[in-house]
Structure 1
Amino acid sequence: MNKADLIGKIAEEVGITKSQAEKAINSFTGAVSGSLKKGEPVILIGFGTFSVSQRSARTGRHPQTGVALKIKAKKVPKFSPGKTLKEVVAKAKLPK
């Protein structure tokens, strides 16, 4: 499912226009991004937690040449699924 599919699904289920659904999704992603930018987690009970994780500096290798590279420390977004989401996925019948 991509963003356009999600917008269509939300608009259909809630009974709103696609433009209203798109505004809602953009507002949600903006709020999550803004909170993570401040270093604050976003906790949605049952669904999961969006947070910021710190990756420390490390040495890597260039895959073609094998030359050692220094990789800088950085902050990365992280998502930890909640209990309810884990249970839904565990029970799902996935297509083969």
Structure 2
Amino acid sequence: MNKTELIAAIAEQSGLTKAEATRALQAFECAVIDELAGGGEVALTGFGTFRAVKVEARNGRNPKTGETILLPAHTAPKFKAGKALKDAVNP
């Protein structure tokens, strides 16, 4: 499912128009991004938790040349699925 298909599914299940569903999805995305950028987390009970985690610098390898390179430290978004989502996927 891509973003367009997700918007159509949201519109169908919620009774919103596709334009309203698009705005709702964009608002959700912005809210999650803003919270993670500020160092917080977003927990949706039963669905899962979005959080930002710090990744330490490490050595990597250029796959083309085999040369060792330093991958800098950075912050990465992570998602941990909740129990209800896990149970729905693994009946």
TM-score per shorter chain, which class? over 0.9
Mean CA deviation greater in 50-59 or 61-70: 61-70
Is 1:38 aligned to residue 19 of structure 2?
no
Q: How many residues align?
A: 91
Any runs of at least 4 consecutive aligned residues in structure 1 with deviations exceeding 3 A, and if so which?
A: none
**TM-score (norm. length: structure 1):** 0.92
**Superposition deviation, residue 4 in structure 1:** 0.6
Report sequence identity in percent. 45
Partner of 2:26: 26
Deviations 1:39-68 (A, max 9, x none): 100000000000001110011111122111
Question: RMSD of the TM alignment (CA)?
Answer: 0.7
Partner of 1:78: 78
| Runs of 5+ consecutive residues of structure 1 not aligned to the other structure | 92-96
| Runs of 5+ consecutive residues of structure 2 not aligned to the other structure | none
Mean CA deviation greater in 34-43 or 56-65: 56-65
**TM-score (norm. length: structure 2):** 0.97
Partner of 2:3: 3
